Structure 1
């Protein structure tokens, strides 16, 4: 697959034919391994071509598991340590341990609503899933805590980023000013068109100054910049501006590299974010 990659703040890596993205602010942390998958380097075909990491969309489970193993080998993660979310566009953040490894990958999902994962244990790899929704990744270098959350428009409007920070603070004693965060590749403000009821959800977030992330197009159509909403939500949760990286990649604009639900009218595979701590 030939792709043209242009980004000022997100790195494209190739290992053994597998392409994945990394983010400089997390790469600087020597106790963290992380990655965001692309479409390149897997075994799936048709609309799942080729690194599909989504179960239940029509690709075989065997292919999806092979793809996870290829990703883990490329990134340097232990496949047996993966723990998957069970996303339904809510804001529950699950505290996980090594006892949960394999859930959602080699073991059945045991909960129905998990849009965020967090841990303070090394060798536990948190995995969340996307195809236009906003990935949020977190690492606290003082407390050695990591988290990752899924923020679709509903999660973004419900301030998933703030909820995740609050859970990290409650469970592990994290100070928001210490947390390093990434707002990952998602459908951008260039492409995310919504109707009036969805727009009104964001227009009501007065404290975040919605004029900076919404625009009306007329005839009941509007633009919402989900990544900017999430950035402002993280700032309101106490994170420092210099500790937040917002990827400049739009999934729809880069649908040759990244799965996009909007670009394909739903005929697509899935992307995953991975984050883990070493000993």
Structure 2
């Protein structure tokens, strides 16, 4: 099972599953975009075993390209793990202090943001497609974590996962204007005269949002894998029937 492990130390494990032809449905992890639910449950169980946890430790949301986030408690354990009906509704970011729960985010071109706070142990995942980026879900969540959870932004480590590259992220003027209106994305866009399309670097825009939240640049890492170009990537732009990557974070018990 192909998985990019980004962090694995005595306190945290973070990573992102990748496309793998040796697994059911190419290692698709999404119940909302699959041929057979049993295949996805089997893939998730295999992932759980590799991470030394159980499927009932997974916590999944019903992602809607919103800017909504949810603080996970132990009562949420297992939500969305083996069926969609129990997933946390209308939510695109999760965070928690709880150990031994696997926070999950699903993507196929959208930008996954995986983070952990090495001082207070807070962990989280964000799903930031272009809609989430222009709604500033990352900015809003980190503002909440600073104000409500009293986090110091310098204590976070951020991993921006594999996503659609700027070269492959072509948009029309309507989407370009939404990014332009952010006021800080100009450096991450260019216009292609031949195709009359704009190209946007969503990963760099999200990184800028982390910068604006006060997170030091040296604590932000970007996976350069393009989900469209790489054989290990699921790309909705390339194939509307594609599977989904699962980006995850778990705090290990003391």
TM norm. shorter chain > 0.5: yes
1:98-113 maps to which residues of 2 (within 5 A)? 98-106=74-82, 108-109=85-86, 111-113=88-90
Question: In the TM superposition, what whole-angstrom CA distance separates every residue of 1:7-55 from its partner, at most 9, and x where no partner exists?
Answer: xxxxxxxxxxx110022xx33x5311122001127642xxx3x211111
Aligned counterpart, 2:4: 21
1:1-279 maps to which residues of 2 (within 5 A)? 18-23=1-6, 26-27=7-8, 29-40=9-20, 43-44=23-24, 48=25, 50-106=26-82, 108-109=85-86, 111-206=88-183, 208=184, 210-218=185-193, 220-254=196-230, 256-264=231-239, 266-279=240-253
| CA distance 1:176–1:204, shift in 2 (3 Å) | same
Contact 2:70–2:94 (CA under 8 A) maintained in structure 1: yes
Distance in structure 2 (CA, Å) of the matches to 1:220 and 1:39: 32
Superposition RMSD on alpha carbons, in Å? 1.6
Contact 1:182–1:246 (CA under 8 A) maintained in structure 2: yes
- Relative to the length of structure 2, the TM-score reads 0.93
Distance in structure 2 (CA, Å) of the matches to 1:156 and 1:122: 28
Contact 2:61–2:89 (CA under 8 A) maintained in structure 1: no
- Relative to the length of structure 1, the TM-score reads 0.85
The answer for unaligned runs of 5 or more in structure 2 is none
The answer for unaligned runs of 5 or more in structure 1 is 1-17
Q: Give the aligned length.
A: 251
Question: Which range is displaced more, 168-177 or 193-202?
Answer: 168-177
Distance in structure 1 (CA, Å) of the matches to 2:49 and 2:21: 12
Query: Secondary structure, in 3 states, of the residue corresponding to 2:33?
Result: coil
